[in-house]
A and B are shown apart, each in its own frame.
Chain A
Amino acid sequence: DAKTTQPNSMESNEEEPVHLPCNHSTISGTDYIHWYRQLPSQGPEYVIHGLTSNVNNRMASLAIAEDRKSSTLILHRATLRDAAVYYCILRDGPLYSGGGADGLTFGKGTHLIIQP
């Protein structure tokens, strides 16, 4: 899986929008952009994923740059429960991704701190 770069930490205030950036300059044409988050003392939780177009779901929005070399996870109104480590991960799209580890490659992620 291609590599992603995220800030180590970000801080935001409760009830304000949060924009979490991710750079993935070596993304290939078949890589999907996935976001997971891990709350304290829990397993990672799927947030959202997309390929080229912006995506929205009940948890967040994903804005993908036109050249796909960067993306931004948007939490529209942060709550204290959104404090977590957020991971941006690239996953190859085709059904059989061929040789190599087939798991998710987690980097260090962004530690999001929400101030009340």
Chain B
Amino acid sequence: KAGVTQTPRYLIKTRGQQVTLSCSPISGHRSVSWYQQTPGQGLQFLFEYFSETQRNKGNFPGRFSGRQFSNSRSEMNVSTLELGDSALYLCASSLARGTGYTEAFFGQGTRLTVV
């Protein structure tokens, strides 16, 4: 079956703009999580959505937001982009939320560059 699909793969934006990234989870998966990866901070959890509701959020400012649709597809939005937002943004889907006994499947990520 198809894996997790993230679009676009690459994006260049100007400081101050906003950006929307998309994630299509594996069919049947209802939990979608987002992560930011930078060379300095590594992989950091942004937020998780399950059944169209944000269940948990990591330690990121309010400029980072997201949503999940009824078909489990998810989008994340970053407003008022800063240079430090340049990163690889990864989406992961799971069959169920937050459980220790299920694995997460990651997409290839969206490489965002803010200039």
Binding site for B on A (CB under 8 A): 30-32, 34, 36, 42-46, 49, 51, 87, 90-97, 100-108
Residues of B within 8 A of A (CB): 4, 33, 35, 42-48, 55-59, 90, 92, 96-101, 103-109
A interface: dominant SS = loop
Please indicate the chain A residues that have their CB under 8 angstroms from the CB of B101 in the complex: 32, 49, 51, 93
Whole-angstrom distance between the Cβ of B36 and the nearest chain A Cβ: 11
- The residues of A that contact B59 with a CB separation of less than 8 Å are 101
- Quote the shortest CB–CB distance from B39 to chain A (angstroms): 12
A101 and B99 within 8 A (CB): no
**Which residues of the partner chain B approach A91 to less than 8 Å between Cβ atoms?**
99-100
Q: How far is the CA of A35 from the CA of B39 in the complex (A)?
A: 20
Asked whether, in the complex, the Cβ of A100 is within 8 Å of the Cβ of B56, the reply is yes
Contact: A103 with B107, CB < 8 Å? no
Whether A106 lies near B103 (C-beta < 8 A) is: no
- What residue in chain A is nearest B105 (Cβ atoms)? A46
| Inter-chain contact B45/A43, CB cutoff 8 Å | no
Interchain CB contact (< 8 A) of B100 among A92, A103, A107? A92
Nearest CB of chain A from residue B38's CB, rounded to whole Å? 12
Q: Which residue of B lies closest to A92 (CB)?
A: B100
- Cα distance A101–B47 in the bound complex, in angstroms: 8
Give the distance to chain B from A54, nearest Cβ to Cβ, in Å. Answer: 16
A43 touches B108 (CB 8 A): yes
A97 partner, pick from B4, B90, B98, beta carbons under 8 A = B98
List, in ascending order, chain B residues with CB within 8 A of A97's CB. 98-100
Contact indicator B56/A103 (Cβ below 8 Å) = yes
**Top 6 A-B pairs ranked by shortest CB distance?**
A103-B45, A43-B106, A32-B100, A91-B100, A106-B43, A93-B100
